[in-house]
Amino acid sequence: MNKNIILAGVGGQGILSIATVIGEAALAEGLYLKQAEVHGMSQRGGDVQSNLRISSDPIMSDLIEKGGADLIISLEPMEALRYVSYLNKDGWIVTSSVPFVNVPNYPDIEEVLAHIKALPNHVLLDVEAIAKEAGAPQQAANMVLLGAAIPMLGIDHDKMIAGVRRVFARKGEEVVEKNVAAVEAGYSNSKK
């Protein structure tokens, strides 16, 4: 088992929470893990990414090579496209369809979405709307996205849910259930 995942988004959107849950589930499975994060200046509304690698064998590099990623999980559609050259030929993009526009030259969103749809393997979801439908707060949109990525992660659905429960346990039962609901909603909306 070997998965190379690029998590993408805009500083402050919460990509690291997705990484935390995947990491929790991976470690419980006895898998090796390396996760390179971005801290510092780019967190101020700039583009951010994290390289997450999980494997049944020891991992050497903290960074994923071009053409080496199996999956891009992105909280923002243009940010998903930023890392396309890292994706392998059979790789998947799982992304939010909601643009985060904080630059004046942000491209036409319809064109951005068309580019994503032109890729062979993609899941494009309005994660904020799905979170709302599931009765979860807007901050749980990242958990919807995580749910949508479960089929491509190589870790069982039930084990991911158990990971969500452990990560949010100290925040109380209500927070746990809302996040689980968000993950489940993303999972059932995923096409695969």
Partner 1 sequence: MKHLLLGDEAIAQGAIDAGLSGVYAYPGTPSTEITENIQMYEAKRKEGSPIFCRWATNEKTAMEAALGMSYMGKRALVCMKHVGMNVCADAFMNSAITGVNGGLVVLAADDPSMHSSQNEQDSRFYGKFAMIPTFEPSNQQEAYDMTQSAFALSEKLHTPVLMRVTTRMAHSRAVVSTSDQLPTQNQMSLPQNVQHFILLPAFAKKNYAELVAAQDDFIADAEKSGRNRYVKGENPQKAILTCGIGYNYLMEVLHTDVENEWKKASILKITQYPLPVALINQMVSDGAKELLVVEEGQPVVEELIKGIIPSDIKVIGRLTGALPRMGELNPDSLRKAVGMEALPTLEADNIVVSRPPALCQGCGHRDMYAALNEVAREYASPRIFGDIGCYTLGALSPFHALHATVEMGASVTMAKGAADAGQHPSIAVIGDSTFTHSGMTGLLDCVNSKANVVVLISDNLTTGMTGGQDSAGTGRLEQICYGLGVEKEHVRVVVPLPKNMDEIKQVLREEIDYNGTSVVIARRECIQTLKRHLKQAKK
Q: Residue 172 interacts with partner 1 (CB under 8 A)?
A: no
| Structure tokens belonging to residue 130 | 């799905």
Q: Residue 28 interacts with partner 1 (CB under 8 A)?
A: no
| Structure tokens belonging to residue 40 | 């510092």
Residue among 63 and 188 whose Cβ is closer to partner 1: 63
Distance CA 117, CA 103 (A): 23
- Residue 59 CB neighbours (<10 A): 15
Residue among 55 and 189 whose Cβ is closer to partner 1: 55
The minimum distance between CB 64 and partner 1, in angstroms, equals 8
Taking CB under 8 A as the criterion, the residue among 7, 87, 123, 155 binding partner 1 is 87
Catalogue the E-assigned strands of 37-165: 47-55, 69-74, 87-96, 122-125
Q: Residue 38 interacts with partner 1 (CB under 8 A)?
A: yes
119 CB contacts (<8 Å, ≥6 apart)? 84, 93
The minimum distance between CB 38 and partner 1, in angstroms, equals 7
Residue among 115 and 165 whose Cβ is closer to partner 1: 115
Q: Residue 60 interacts with partner 1 (CB under 8 A)?
A: yes
* Per-residue exposure over 158-180, b if at least 16 CB sit within 10 Å of its own CB, e if not: eebbebbbebbeeeeeebbebbb
Answer for the pair 49, 37: CB distance below 8 angstroms, yes or no.
Answer: no
Residue among 155 and 185 whose Cβ is closer to partner 1: 155
Catalogue the E-assigned strands of the chain: 2-10, 32-36, 47-55, 69-74, 87-96, 122-125
Q: Residue 170 interacts with partner 1 (CB under 8 A)?
A: no
Q: Residue 137 interacts with partner 1 (CB under 8 A)?
A: no
Taking CB under 8 A as the criterion, the residue among 43, 56, 138, 188 binding partner 1 is 43
Residue among 73 and 181 whose Cβ is closer to partner 1: 73
Where along the sequence are the contacts to partner 1 (CB under 8 A)?
A: 10-11, 23, 27, 32-47, 59-68, 78-79, 81-82, 84-89, 91, 102-107, 111-112, 115, 119
